[in-house]
Structure 1
Amino acid sequence: MTDEMGAVRTFVAVGDSFTEGLADDPGDGVYRGWADLVARRLAALEPDLTYANLAVRGKLIGQIVADQLDLAAAMRPDLASIAGGLNDAMRPGCDVEAVCALIEKCAQVLSESSGRLVMFRAIDFTKRMPSARRFQAKADLINAFVDQTAEKYGAAVVDLHSARVFDDPRLWAVDRIHLNDEGHRRVAEAVLEALGHEPAFGWRALLPPARKPWPGARTWSDLRWLLTFLLPWIRRRLTGTSSGDGVLPKRPELTRVL
């Protein structure tokens, strides 16, 4: 647990691809992401800090509960984070009430076993991807539930939903679903701010105006996205497979942050 001054000596992150760090690839074959960046900042304040990241891409909230929750709770961290449910919301048959019940289970278990809990209001995709409106109503219900649950269990909420900077495609990878390095860098600052730290920069600030794309660029980008990302995603849904099948957590145990 945290001491009287609130020092964080152990940090455990739980969730899906958002927390695993896709697609922030520093070039070593292991995704980095906002949680790693937060751990590094906290380690600068507490050199003995240890950090575990149990998140795995593609996981539904039920899988997060089954595979990660007990492990995270057993670590008794000073700080824990939970982000999940958006993969469920993207599925046509999503039972929002069931998803919310599992989110509350995560919040209850982690709030009881950790010194402090961080939760997230998920990013609004609709300005950047109008097609996302088909599942945004479910995501909005989950966001509202996160607010209620965080208040109930005393968790800090990172409000990414209202930050319009995430409407900018330049914060996203070519798959349009996962944040790139700049996107994760801004989420890390948002988390640190929610924890009471002074952010190193204005993470909500909009990027400078983008250059006008060359004619046909959008059409080519859409075609590449369709062939490279959307069709494989549809194939996985039809076959009942997941991008996370066979993927293990990148930091399954509490280890020093170097």
Structure 2
Amino acid sequence: MATPTQARRHPTVAFYGDSIVTGWRGTSSPRARWSSLVSDDLGWREVNLALDGMGYFRRRGPRGADGERQPSATDTTLLDALVRLEPDAVVVCLSANDIRFLPDRADEVRAAIDRDHRRLAEDLPGRPVLVTTYFPTRELSDRAAQMRAWITDAAARWGHTHVAGFGTATADDPHLLCDDGVHPNDAGHRALADAILPACAALVGGDRSMRRPAGNGQADVPTRSEAPVRVATPS
């Protein structure tokens, strides 16, 4: 009679984001994307709730006459699906696709950012939420810097943890990006996974249950040179 193995719980983690989360364009296979690499490394069950081109505001509404999803600061269709899953934790990666709406629709973009973070905090109480942004360069435009500031502010206000080192893990390195100079290739996705892995690993308790990171909106993440830094979201 075979000796039964000890049961091991595999937490369900929802990855919520844009083409950086789907792995569009630059990956050789779905399992090469950073969210899958992290899940495989930590024994998580990955739920990938991501859409190419999506932002907090962009492509969040119903389809228009042109067949494309419309921007929306009020539609909660995707959030409803995420909440119904009741994941053990959520990792959010959204930012760059909303830059095009600034400054003309800045109020709507900021409202959409708050909508997502408020809903995650209120409808998934006690579930840890990691928040990231992604930009392919370290030199951000004024609009990109504003987007990042709004996202980190919302994360702090709603008790979520912002992982800053992720956002520049592939920045300005052509060996980590595919031919468009924006989306990471397989090596770039490995770099993104390595950048966020310590923060993700901190969510896993000894019994494989999820826990909130220590501190208030802070995460210890390595830089690409592996020197540890303390990252805090602004108040």
- Do the two structures share a fold, i.e. TM-score over 0.5? yes
RMSD, aligned α-carbons: 3.0
Q: Please state whether the residue corresponding to 1:54 is helix, strand or coil.
A: strand
Q: Summarize the alignment of residues 85-104 of structure 1 with structure 2, pairs less than 5 Å apart.
A: 85-90=95-100, 95-104=105-114
Distance 1:161 1:34, change over 3 A: closer
CA distance in 2, matches of 1:138, 1:161: 19
Q: Pick one of 134, 138, 145 that aligns with 1:122.
A: 134
Q: Is the 8 A contact 1:10 1:78 kept in 2?
A: yes
Q: Please state whether the residue corresponding to 1:60 is helix, strand or coil.
A: coil
Q: Which has the higher contact order (CA 8 A, sep 6+)?
A: 1
Q: Pick one of 84, 88, 97 that aligns with 1:74.
A: 84
Q: Pick one of 43, 52, 57 that aligns with 1:57.
A: 52
Q: Please state whether the residue corresponding to 1:118 is helix, strand or coil.
A: strand
CA distance in 2, matches of 1:181, 1:95: 35
TM-score normalised according to structure 1 size = 0.61
Q: As a proportion of its length, which structure holds more helix?
A: 1
Q: Pick one of 2, 15, 18 that aligns with 1:16.
A: 18
Q: Summarize the alignment of residues 198-217 of structure 1 with structure 2, pairs less than 5 Å apart.
A: 204-205=224-225
Distance 1:203 1:75, change over 3 A: same
Q: Is the 8 A contact 1:23 1:31 kept in 2?
A: no
What displacement does 1:57 show? Answer: 0.6
Q: Summarize the alignment of residues 1-258 of structure 1 with structure 2, pairs less than 5 Å apart.
A: 9-27=11-29, 30=30, 32-43=32-43, 49-62=44-57, 63-64=59-60, 66-90=76-100, 95-114=105-124, 115-123=127-135, 125=137, 127=139, 136-160=141-165, 163=168, 166-197=171-202, 204-205=224-225
Q: Is the 8 A contact 1:108 1:153 kept in 2?
A: yes
The one-letter amino acid paired with 1:82 is V
What displacement does 1:100 show? Answer: 2.0
Structure 1 residue runs without a partner (length 5+): 1-6, 44-48, 128-132, 207-258
Q: Is the 8 A contact 2:136 2:181 kept in 1?
A: no
TM-score normalised according to structure 2 size = 0.67
1:158-187 Cα offsets, whole Å, 9 max, x none, are: 214774752211111101120111111121
